Structure formats: structure tokens, C-alpha cells
Amino acid sequence: MIIILYLAVAVIAIAFAVLVYFLAQTLKSAQKTLDDVASTLENVQEQMKGLTDETTGLLHRTNILADDMAEKTKSFDSIFNAVEKLGESLGSVNSSVQRVTSTIETRGNENAGKIAQAMQWGKAAIDLMHRWQDARGSRKKEF
């Protein structure tokens, strides 16, 4: 029975040694993995620092461009105001022309009879002048 006890202790010792061996292998693999992860994180931190610097520079340039655009937009305000006033002036001129046209049309309609009579008088005067010239021209031929 003592032999069985010694054999049992030997089997337990061998099992414990195998367990320690595989546990050591696992811990070595875990250590290697953790070293790789640490190295990767260091690289990521360096890249993030570079990215942060670039982002800060880009943000600074963007702010400068935004300020420049704001200044240039302000310079266009006077042009837009001038165009707006020109549009208002043209609208005013258009309204004035429409009023004058309307007034002329109304007065023309009111004085249509007078205009027709004046045209008849003008035609009669031209006819008289032609007759007088014809009569005068025939007298000159007689002399």
C-alpha cells in the first residue's frame, strides 16, 4: 500500500510538473501577446499625436479661411446694396414711364376728335398749297 501511495504521489508530481510546464508555455504566449499589444499601442499613440498635430494645423487654416471668407463677403455687401438700389431705381423709372404712357394714352383718347380735325385741316392746307403751286406754275408757263 505504501507503493501505491508512492506511485500516487509520483503521478501527482508528474501531473503537477506537466501542468506547470503547459502553464508556463501559456504564460509565455500571453506575455508575448501583451508585449505585441504594448508595442502596437505605442505606435498608435505616436500616430495619434501626429494626427492631432495635423488636425490642429488644419483647424487653424480652416479658421483663417473662414475669417478671410467673412471679410470678402462683407466687401460684397456694398455691391449687393448698389445692385439693389439700381433695381429700385429701374423700378421707379419703369413706373414713371408707365404713368407717362398712361397719361399720353388718356389725353390722346380725350383729344382724338381734335387730332382728327387738325389732321383734316392739315390735309386741306396741303391740298390748297399744291393747287396754288400748280396754278402759279401754269402762269409762269404763259409768260
- 3-state helix, strand, coil split of the chain in percent (to 5) is 100, 0, 0
| Neighbouring residues of 108: CB distance < 8 A, sequence distance ≥ 6 | 115
pTM: 0.40
For residues 19 and 26, give the distance between their C-alpha atoms in angstroms, rounded to a whole number.
10
Report pLDDT digits (tens) over 86-104: 888 888 888 888 888 888 8
For residues 133 and 123, give the distance between their C-alpha atoms in angstroms, rounded to a whole number.
15
Report pLDDT digits (tens) over 49-84: 888 888 999 999 999 999 998 888 888 888 888 888
- Contact indicator for 115, 108 with CB cutoff of 8 Å: yes
